[in-house]
Amino acid sequence: MEKEKEKEKSEKSSCSGDIEDHTETPRPWQSFHTVYTNAKAGMDGVNKEKVQRIVYDMSKGSKYFENEERKEAFMRQKIDNMCAHCAKLTPADISQYQKVADRRILELETKHDMSRIWLHIDMDAFYAAVETLSNPSLKGKPMAVGGMSMISTANYEARRFGVRAAMPGFIARKLCPELIFVPVDFKKYTYYSDLTRKVFQKYDPNFMAASLDEAYLDITDVCKERSMTSGEVAKELRTTVFEETGLTCSAGVGSNRLLAKVCSDINKPNGQFVLPNDRMAVMTFISSLPIRKIGGIGKVTEHILRDVFGINTCEDMLQKGGLLCALFSRSTADFFLSVGLGLGQTETPQVRSRKSISNERTFSSTEDEASFYQKLADLAEMLSVDMRKEGLSGRTLTLKLKTTTFEVRTRAVTLQKYICSSVDILKYASKLLKAELPVSLRLIGLRLSQFYADKAAAPADPTQKTLTNFLISGDASRESMVDSSSMGSIVNDHHFMNDTETGLSMGSHEACGYDGRDLLDSSHFPDLEDRNCAIGNNDGEMQKFHEPLNDENGNKVNTPERKSYQNAVSELKTDSSSVPFAFRSLDEENKRANLPDDDTVSSSNHGELLLWVNDYKCSLCGIELPPCFVEERQEHFDFHLAERLQKEESRCDTRMLRHRLSPKDNIASQRKRKKQRASPKDKGHIPIDLFFVKSSQNF
């Protein structure tokens, strides 16, 4: 690990650090960072530059390449902006933020919980291993599951050539001409996944499945009851999995889920790594751990942290804590600092009710509508089987499409009845698809959510419109994509469907932590802000954590959440120039840059529509409300809606007044309005009935 760290350090430099040497012969592929060139387990000895060059040569000129280049350019611009903001920080600012960071580190440290033992299990080359079981002649030969357009995974023999998941098959074949391709067969993988879960259940009845081939188990009790070490339990479990399935898996043990996951990758395949529940051991482990090993830190975050802050290892997060607090929102900075401390989740969530079930398919780009409908029928059938297995029915059906140009569109409908039959799913999915035709696609996905079983989330009477779906349906009517008589409303959902790099995996299980997606990649977390996003001025369109909301009188309004962190800063602040910059979300910037991202939702702009980022944090103001706070969330939504309506209303009124009133009357009326709004009770709330009247006028 130390070696890896040194190598990375020498390869990379922060904005304030070394200057790269560009005097050599140009090697454009070296700056072409795609997912294909990242090391996965079993790729240690791969000639990275050779792979990079082949990937570059083979993708050059393709739509994928263009898209990657645009994303890269956008990321570079973001990095430059952040560097510029860093440069503006005075030593006094930095020292203030360092104090904030020190305080946060102290607070976070109290959360170190060494009382639980977590085990993370990850099957080895899962799809490939299952295929080899059914066709033993594949054993020992390089093979990949998937086709020429995309592969889902490769066995370890193929990985030695640089072949890996999410890589188009034609590139893989170039890297390894002997490569054997086997088509995907989800039924088989689900069958074997079920077998593994039966084993997991014996060790932890509440185990958390993270995907078909991955699970987290709290083995604290088993270790105690059977007087076994965690390593022994891991070994026994792996042996049982092998006996039951004929498949090997790898295990990681740690005091929390984040560490356990990192550990399971260390001795892959068919190995295990135990990190003792000891603070010193954790800190030593973390000190040299490259940040990319952490779930939630993907390509974008890695580059930003490395190039702006010079952060390469988890420990570096603590050293640069001040800058992180200066440039990121509290929750993002907290995440980074927690990583630096080796903190992770230790509790099994009490209610782990599933929020949605989805599946998706990647295929070679085509415009063939008949094949779209066939795929949709298959997906509807599989979704229906999954729903019935879980005894669920859902009301929101979402269609996900990835076009040939890698643009991702999501279209959803919230129905007035709960559905789970393949006939119903197909019927509504087809309507959603029809509205998108003609189109050239490479992926189709379906998701059902808002479950009947999900009582907390479901209104007592589903036909009764909540403010949420009313607002959404207002947008839907503007889009007028579907027959409103049969469909309630259309929504856009920015973050769902376990969208792996190929899009081939089933996203039907509860995500743990950051679900393997990149924290700062706006395509996955469109509303996760970093605070330095604004280019130059203070015109951020979404008010963020440190930026108090203005009430209708122009006074600053603080939510309790916002207050606490702001206090932390202002208590320490001596110089008002250290107030951070304007805040525009990455998503907003993406739009400004007109950047088609892999996961950019391309349907109507719901920039101001409230979303719960990570199902936890309000995308509009950053306030955090856990999903169980259903009423509070509704109220919070109402607050934002009222704000928006009143803005609309005052704009409208001003225009009308200008026409109708004399200047004198105008001033008097404004005074009256101001007086009326001064009542704190009025803030952001108007009667519910009025909402509906206003909603239909304004949306």
Q: Smaller CB distance to ligand DCP: residue 306 or 509?
A: 509
Q: Which does 40 bind (CB under 5 to 8 A by kind): ligand DCP, Mg ion, none?
A: ligand DCP
Answer with the entry of ligand DCP, Mg ion, none that 165 interacts with (C-beta below 5 to 8 A by kind): ligand DCP
- Which span (77-85, 94-102, 119-127, 405-413) binds Mg ion, by CB under 5 A? 119-127
Task: List helix spans (H) across 204-329.
Answer: 220-225, 230-245, 257-264, 279-287, 299-309, 314-319, 321-327
Q: Which stretch binds Mg ion (CB under 5 A): 23-31, 120-128, 225-233, 344-352?
A: 120-128
Q: Residue 14 binds which entry of ligand DCP, Mg ion, none, with Cβ cut-offs from 5 to 8 Å by kind?
A: none
Of 213 and 529, the one with the shorter C-beta distance to ligand DCP is 213
The pair of three-digit structure tokens given for residue 695, joined into one six-digit string: 């909603």
Residue closer to Mg ion, measured from CB, 261 or 694? 261
Chain residues that interact with ligand DCP, rule: CB under 6 A: 40-41, 122-127, 152-153, 165-166, 213, 268-269, 500-502, 504-505
DSSP calls for 580-648: ------HHHHHHHTT---TT-B-SS--TTS--EETTTEETTT--B--TT-HHHHHHHHHHHHHHHHHHH
* Residue 128 CB, nearest approach to Mg ion (Å): 10
Binders of Mg ion in range 287-316 (CB under 5 A): none
How far is the C-alpha of 194 from the C-alpha of 200, rounded, in Å?
Answer: 10
Instruction: Tell me the window of 30-38, 124-132, 397-405, 516-524 that interacts with Mg ion (CB under 5 A).
Output: 124-132
Which residue, 155 or 646, is less far from ligand DCP as judged by CB? 155
Secondary structure of residue 61 in the 3-state scheme: coil
Task: Name residue 202's amino acid.
Answer: K
Catalytic residue among 131, 214, 529, 561: 214
Q: How many CA atoms lie within 13 A of 144 on its CB side?
A: 31
Question: Shortest approach of ligand DCP to residue 158 CB, angstroms?
Answer: 11
| Residue at 159: amino acid letter | R
- Shortest spacing between CB 11 and Mg ion, in angstroms: 27
Question: Nearest distance from residue 213's CB to ligand DCP, in Å?
Answer: 4
143 binds, among ligand DCP, Mg ion, none (CB under 5 to 8 A by kind): none
Residue 522 interface partner, choices Mg ion, ligand DCP, none, CB cut-off 5-8 Å depending on type: none
Q: Could you tell which of ligand DCP, Mg ion, none binds residue 543, using a CB distance below 5 to 8 A set by kind?
A: none
Give the phi and the psi of residue 224 in degrees, each rounded to 5: -65, -55
Phi first, then psi, for residue 107 (nearest 5°) are -60, -45
Element (H, E) at 336: helix 330-341
Active site residue 72: no
| Burial (CB count within 10 angstroms: exposed 0-12, middle 13-18, buried 19+), residue 555 | exposed
Give the bridge partners for 180, in sequence order: 143
Among 93, 122, 547, 599, binds Mg ion (CB under 5 A): 122
Identify what 512 binds: Mg ion, ligand DCP, none; CB under 5 to 8 Å per kind. Answer: none
Q: How far is the CB of 505 from ligand DCP (least distance, A)?
A: 4
In the complex, minimum distance from the CB of residue 551 to ligand DCP, in angstroms, rounded to a whole number: 46
Query: Residue 217 or residue 420: which is nearer to ligand DCP going by CB?
Result: 217
Say if residues 586 and 553 touch (Cβ distance below 8 Å): no
328 binding partner (options Mg ion, ligand DCP, none; Cβ < 5 to 8 Å by kind) = none
Beta carbon of residue 181, minimum distance to ligand DCP (angstroms, whole number): 14
DSSP 8-state secondary structure symbol assigned to residue 348: P
| CA–CA separation, 219 and 351 (whole Å) | 19
Cβ(667)–Cβ(618) below 8 Å: no
Q: Find which of Mg ion, ligand DCP, none residue 505 binds, CB within 5 to 8 Å per kind.
A: ligand DCP
Nearer to ligand DCP, 130 or 327 (CB): 130
Is 123 a binding residue for Mg ion by CB under 5 A? The answer is yes
Which residue's structure tokens are 């309506």? 645
Q: Are 447 and 357 in contact (CB under 8 A)?
A: yes
Residue 52 binding partner per list Mg ion, ligand DCP, none, with a CB distance cut-off of 5 to 8 Å that depends on partner kind: none
Considering just the CA atoms, what is the radius of gyration of the chain in Å? 26
CB of 126 to Mg ion, least distance (A): 5
Give the binding-site size for Mg ion (rule: CB under 5 A): 4
Residue type, 102: D
Q: Is 673 helix (H, G, I), strand (E, B) or coil?
A: helix
CB-nearer residue toward ligand DCP: 246 or 626: 246
Q: Rounded to whole angstroms, how far apart are CA atoms 446 and 255?
A: 36
Residue whose CB is less far from ligand DCP, 271 or 548: 271
339 binds, among ligand DCP, Mg ion, none (CB under 5 to 8 A by kind): none
304 Rama sector, left if φ>0, alpha if ψ -120 to 50, beta otherwise: alpha
Q: Is 213 in the site for Mg ion (CB under 5 A)?
A: yes
Q: Which residues are paired to 560 by β-bridges?
A: none
Alpha-carbon distance values, 558 to 545, 549, 563, 565 (Å): 10, 7, 6, 11
Measured torsion, CA atoms of residues 209, 40, 590, 606, in degrees rounded to the nearest 10: -10
d(CA 246, CA 134): 10
Query: Measured from the CB of residue 127, what is the shortest distance to Mg ion in angstroms?
Result: 9
Q: 122 or 315, CB closer to Mg ion? A: 122
Per-residue tokens: 194: 């079920």
Nearer to Mg ion, 193 or 356 (CB): 193
- Please classify residue 264 by burial: count the beta carbons closer than 10 Å to its beta carbon, then call 0-12 exposed, 13-18 middle and 19+ buried: buried
Instruction: Please list the alpha-helical segments (H only) found in 110-229.
Output: 126-134, 156-159, 169-175, 186-203, 220-225
Q: Quick one: 330 or 509, whose CB is closer to ligand DCP?
A: 509
- Smallest distance, Mg ion to C-beta of residue 122, A: 4
CB of 4 to ligand DCP, least distance (A): 17
Contacts (CB under 5 A) with Mg ion, residues 126-145 = 126
DSSP state of 122: E
Residues at the site binding Mg ion, with contacts judged by CB under 5 A: 122-123, 126, 213
Query: Annotated active-site positions, please?
Result: 214
